[in-house]
Amino acid sequence: MVNTNKKINTVNGKISVNSMGITYIHEHLYVVPNELPKYYDYTLDDIDKNIAEAVSFKDAGGNTIVDLTPINYGRSPLLLKKIASSAGINVAFVTGFHKQEFQPSWIKDMTDADIYNFLTNEITAGVTSQHLLPAGMKCGTSYNNITDDEKRIIIIESKVQNDLHIPIITHCDQGTMGLEQLALFEKNNADLSHICLSHVDLMENEKYIEQICQTGASVCFDHIGRDLDNHDELKVQMIVKLVQNGYADQICLSGDMGRKKYFVSYGGKPGLKYILTTLKEELLKYISEEDFIKMVKDNPQRILTW
């Protein structure tokens, strides 16, 4: 049960948990990973188009988006604030780091204590001249591997969570290394009930996801909207089986649609409204609306409350 007196941080200040409403826990509303041509599609830097996409989310019934763009991947809390204010939605952002490929070079020169202090300062003092406060931390691991540098960040972020109780949302590359991440978190006394693993639906294996949920952690189905011709049939079947097997309280639905080809405002599809429209209609053929609301409202609220 979520304590409704609790607050969460957004780019426009603290809001009550009750004000979160329908929440996508893993999205990207502004992201500029780098200037290399290979990441052109991942660059969402047209503010007007980003605002238009956020408005479509609001018009479909959405209230809150957690932008998972981490440090050194084009994170911009001030621009997220502009999008949130213009679109009339809540937007939260995170501190923390991506998988090794996108980790900033400067952390190699920092001690563990330096990184711990850096993260805790962002969490308690805020970022930018406006001292905006993050709602969570991010960390990531590589495909089928957790590098030494990634392991180091998981250990440090576990300590930060121990001390500040901030939730953690992770990147599991192509869905891999979820159980290995959780073993590291557990070894370092992290609170698994406030950890959500992203992209694990890419493994297309509900037994794997059940194993993750059995640890007490949560998962995010965030690669839906990729098989529109078949109405996301496989992902829908996976979600239905997991709900039937008792895991509705540990599943979040989001889109991770941080690419031009997914935003309607950039000429792509299916757009941020998809989960609350087409996918919802498909899921409600097999599960209750109560279970759907758990995945887009109750579970994100519980995970993000700290």
CATH code of residue 88:
3.20.20.140
The answer to whether the beta carbons of residues 80 and 30 sit under 8 Å apart is yes
Q: Does residue 97 fall inside a structural domain?
A: yes
How far is the C-alpha of 252 from the C-alpha of 64, rounded, in Å? 13
φ and ψ of 165, to 5 deg: 65, 25
Name the residue with tokens 């495909």.
Answer: 143
* Total count of domains within the chain: 1
Q: Does residue 1 fall inside a structural domain?
A: no
**pTM (two decimals):** 0.96
Q: How far apart are the first and last CA of the chain?
A: 13
Q: Does residue 209 fall inside a structural domain?
A: yes
Q: In the prediction, which pLDDT does 36 show?
A: 65
Q: In the prediction, which pLDDT does 37 show?
A: 76
Residue 201's domain comprises 7-304
Q: In the prediction, which pLDDT does 4 show?
A: 67
Q: Does residue 278 fall inside a structural domain?
A: yes
How far is the C-alpha of 55 from the C-alpha of 273, rounded, in Å? 9
Q: In the prediction, which pLDDT does 34 show?
A: 74
Q: Does residue 2 fall inside a structural domain?
A: no
Q: In the prediction, which pLDDT does 39 show?
A: 87
How far is the C-alpha of 302 from the C-alpha of 295, rounded, in Å? 11
Q: Does residue 170 fall inside a structural domain?
A: yes
Q: Does residue 136 fall inside a structural domain?
A: yes
Q: In the prediction, which pLDDT does 152 show?
A: 98
List per-residue pLDDT tens for the chain, 306 residues long: 566 678 999 999 999 999 999 999 999 999 998 766 788 999 999 999 999 999 999 999 999 999 999 999 999 999 999 999 999 999 999 999 999 999 999 999 999 999 999 999 999 999 999 999 999 999 999 999 999 999 999 999 999 999 999 999 999 999 999 999 999 999 999 999 999 999 999 999 999 999 999 999 999 999 999 999 999 999 999 999 999 999 999 999 999 999 999 999 999 999 999 999 999 999 999 999 999 999 999 999 999 999
